[in-house]
Amino acid sequence: MRQPLVAISSDVRNFENYTWHAAPDQYLMAAYQAADVIPLIVPSIGEGLDIDAILDGVDGVLITGSKSNVHPALYGAQPTEAHEPYDPARDATSLPLIRRAIDRGIPLLAICRGIQELNVALGGTLATEIQQLDGRMDHRAPASEIQAERFAIRHPVHIKAGSCLAAVMNSDAIQVNSVHRQAIDRPAPQLEIEAVADDGTIEAVSVKNARAFAVGVQWHPEYWVKTDNSSRRIFAAFGDAVRAHKASRERLQAAE
């Protein structure tokens, strides 16, 4: 029996005189080691890419974080320098991938930029430079050249009782890292708020009435899956959902 396959979103980057479609190693290794799935990077080709053909061949979808932001025109906002940088090819690929994965009941985990894409894909809006808003903490990474310091776990999030995340964590609060300057502003109608920070920033959501695991988190569990129990639990739950979906699909195919 083959190991489950998971589609991973990609960023478009230009370096070494090439255009690359790439995903950070931390996400790939967290998927491989903590979720026990094989990650496959989806190129950000955008319009014309056969999303259903991709989803026919995988058992789950992981939408990664990124330095780039969802283009504000996609949620009805006026672009400014504060909204930059952008990755329009990623937007044109990941948003339809998210929508179709939900429609088809394929397990979905969306992280950082991913939770923002999830919200926009379903009709929500984003706020930028949230550290400038009244009552908000600074959610940006600490200034450091050392990645472990930038991704250090440093503030609590409070989990809604009875939520999907509460069942995963078996707790009403966990400690997370914080490496973002944008966040959900108006949640999409199809999303349920699962967790918030002390300042009210939405830190996790799930898709209402989803046919499979469909969760977005604003923090970065991929960075600490080897040492942080909460981070490991998220990827383990995603992996379990992916395997359950794969088994269900194989049973249906065998019955045909």
pLDDT at position 255 over 90: no
Confidence of residue 253 (pLDDT cuts 50, 70, 90): confident
pLDDT of residue 256: 77
Sequence letter at residue 208:
K
CA distance 89 to 87: 6
pLDDT at position 126 over 90: yes
pLDDT at position 230 over 90: yes
pLDDT at position 112 over 80: yes
pLDDT tens digits for 55-101?
Answer: 999 999 999 999 999 999 999 999 999 999 999 999 999 999 999 99
pLDDT of residue 219: 98
CA distances from 172 to 75, 106, 157, 183, 203 (A): 31, 27, 9, 21, 13
pLDDT at position 1 over 80: no
**Antiparallel, parallel or unpaired: β 5-8 and 38-41:** parallel
Q: Is 112 a catalytic residue?
A: yes
Among 71, 139, 220, 245, the one annotated catalytic: 220
User: How much of the chain, in percent, has pLDDT values that exceed 70?
Assistant: 100
Confidence of residue 254 (pLDDT cuts 50, 70, 90): confident
Among 71, 112, 139, 194, the one annotated catalytic: 112
Among 117, 192, 203, 222, the one annotated catalytic: 222
Instruction: With CA atoms as reference, report the closest residue to 223 among 138, 140, 114, 149.
Output: 149
pLDDT of residue 108: 98
pLDDT tens digits for 23-32?
Answer: 999 999 999 9
Backbone phi and psi for residue 222, each to the nearest 5 degrees, phi listed first: -60, -25
Mean pLDDT of 96-111: 98
pLDDT of residue 158: 98
Rounded CA Rg of the chain? 17
pLDDT of residue 144: 94
pLDDT of residue 10: 98
Residue entry with tokens 């429609």: 103
pLDDT of residue 178: 95
**H-assigned helices in 107-228:** 113-121, 147-150, 164-169
**Burial class, 161, CB count within 10 angstroms (exposed 0-12 / middle 13-18 / buried 19+):** exposed
pLDDT tens digits for 193-227?
Answer: 999 999 999 999 999 999 999 999 999 999 999 99
> Both tokens of residue 182?
């944008």
CA distance 256 to 242: 21
CATH superfamily for 5-255 is Class I glutamine amidotransferase (GATase) domain (3.40.50.880)
pLDDT at position 121 over 80: yes
Domain ranges of the chain: 5-255
Beta strand ranges found along the chain (DSSP E): 5-8, 11-15, 18-22, 38-41, 60-63, 108-111, 126-128, 155-159, 173-176, 182-184, 191-197, 202-207, 214-217
pLDDT of residue 252: 86
Q: Is 222 a catalytic residue?
A: yes
Mean pLDDT of 149-158: 96
